[in-house]
Amino acid sequence: MTPAQNNRWLVALQKQGVADQWAQIRSRYFLVSPQVSSPTSPAGNVPILVVEGIVVEVTDAGDPIRDVLASQLTPAKVKAITVLEREPAGLYVNKISTGWIIISVADKQLRKALRRTDKRAH
C-alpha cells in the first residue's frame, strides 16, 4: 500500500469495533506472507504494530512475537486497540511508518507468553 492508502486504512480502522479491528489487523499482518521491507518500498510504510509495549516485526516471518500473536490473539483477548497517526510519547522506533496501532491485551496468560517470548528474543 502507498502511504495514502495506509492512511485511509487507518482512518477506517479507527471507526470499527475491537472485533472488526482485530480482523483487519490479522488479515493484513498475520494471514499473509510478510513482505521484505525497505525504506522505499510500500512494505516499509506499514503502520507500526505495538502489543503490550513490544514492537512487532510484522515484516519478519521469523519473529517469535509475531508467531505468538498469530496463533493466540483473539478478539476476546484484546482489551483495546488504539490507532495513532504519530509516534506515541516516550516511544521511538527507527522506522518509516504511516501510523501506529497499539494493542492492549486483556488475557493475563497471553501477556505472560508475550513477555517470555520477548525476553528470549533479545
Q: Give the position of cell 512475537.
A: 65
Range in 26-40, 57-71, 104-118 with the lowest mean pLDDT: 26-40
Number of domains forming the structure of the chain = 1
Range in 28-37, 77-86, 97-106 with the lowest mean pLDDT: 28-37
> Residue 44: its pLDDT value, please?
55
The predicted model gives 71-83 an average pLDDT of 93
Range of the domain at 35: 3-121
Structural contact between residues 58 and 99, judged by C-beta atoms closer than 8 angstroms = no
**Does this model's pTM top 0.85?**
no
Rounded Cα distance, 24 and 86, in Å: 20
> Residue 40: its pLDDT value, please?
45
CB proximity list for 76: less than 8 A, separation 6 or greater? 106, 107
Rounded Cα distance, 21 and 15, in Å: 9
> Residue 96: its pLDDT value, please?
60
